[in-house]
Structure 1
Amino acid sequence: MNGSNIAVGNAKLGRVDNDYYATNPDDTREFLELIEKEYDLNGKRILEPAAGEGHITNVLYERYKSSQIISRDLIDRGVGYIESGIDFLNDNRTEHFDFTITNPPFNIAKGFIDKSLQISDVAFIFAKLQFLEGKARREWFANTPLKYVYVYSHRANPWRNGKSTDENGKKWSSTMAFAWYIFDQSYDGEPIVRWI
């Protein structure tokens, strides 16, 4: 098995441009249902900075009708309500959000978390469970307010290029484990692992 098999693909398909592996809306719904008792997103200001085609944002719109939901992405994927051409890591606007919720490109996930914690109280980040690994990240984690890691007990399968199936109509499958990471500015303690 090689790295591309692990990364929701195979050697023939290769990596997707801009690391565009969208979050299955059902996986987002499952997560939100679990955390809503502790985190009230109604009436809040929420940013999705790597919105793709709105896979996470559409779930937010259906659940939190009284919230102000801002969707942005570097790439224009033709979705009218998503502000495109916005490089989140280099966006110098001074603005504040209650929540940042996103599935960032894996290779710059740490940067997305750092930036999210500069502009929001709480960040919900969908990423590989593998994100917990790494010597450099060990020190970084020790200095971030990581409150929860919500690990999927079933196999969450991101959608390659935002599509729920391949060209033959087959659902994507992955050997990778995924989780939602909750970084909370008000938290000062050890991370807590929970399951979805």
Structure 2
Amino acid sequence: MIREIIQRGNPGPHFVNDIRDEELATLSDWGQATISDYLTMGDPPVCNFMVTNPPFTKAVEFVQKARAHVSGPICILQSTRWQSTQKRSEWLRTAGLALVLNLPRRPQWEVDSGDVVKNNVMDFAWYIFLPGYDGRPEMDWLVDNAANPDRAGCHFGDG
């Protein structure tokens, strides 16, 4: 994700964190890189926004913790089934969820062995939380602008 952000024109500075040691060498070229468990970090850096793919069962904790040090959007990548439990759906209605951006193609994931999963059967979406947002979330789909030149991409609010 960080490579794509930089390639699209955001030079940073970036704070990059991962849990796995083997990722450190590849991440250090893209920003201040550390290896740690975000949820146990005592004093995470103050940030303008967060882009993350947290573990499915820990995503709510990620959003709640990020609210204390992220001043702007908190963007998490999760499967679409993440929104479907009773407890979580009640929380999402009051958590500042402003936008759900569905991925029209199912991503392929690298597993710890380095192999690529060929048959991903889950649909994914970006869930965008905004500080102070208390409306209902909007839903859209990320589309390839080259394939759809009449679409300027996704836009939410005034920024």
TM range (shorter): 0.7 to 0.9
Q: TM-score, normalised by structure 2?
A: 0.76
Please point out which of 139, 164, 171 is paired with 2:90: 139
Say if 2:137 is the partner of 1:191.
Answer: yes
Q: Is the 8 A contact 1:73 1:87 kept in 2?
A: yes
Please point out which of 41, 53, 68 is paired with 2:13: 68
Whole-Å Cα distance in 1 between the matches of residues 126 and 113 of structure 2?
19
Equivalent residue number for residue 172 of structure 1? 118
1:38-49 equivalences in 2 (<5 Å) = none
Equivalent residue number for residue 161 of structure 1? 112
2:77 maps to amino acid: F
Identity %: 24
Whole-Å Cα distance in 1 between the matches of residues 40 and 64 of structure 2?
12
1:189 maps to amino acid: G
2:126 maps to amino acid: W
After TM superposition, give the deviation of residue 159 of structure 1 in Å.
2.7
Whole-Å Cα distance in 2 between the matches of residues 141 and 158 of structure 1?
26
RMSD value over aligned CA atoms?
1.9
Whole-Å Cα distance in 2 between the matches of residues 149 and 164 of structure 1?
29
Q: TM-score, normalised by structure 1?
A: 0.62
Equivalent residue number for residue 147 of structure 2? none
Task: Specify the SS of the correspondent of 1:181.
Answer: strand
Q: Which has the higher contact order (CA 8 A, sep 6+)?
A: 1
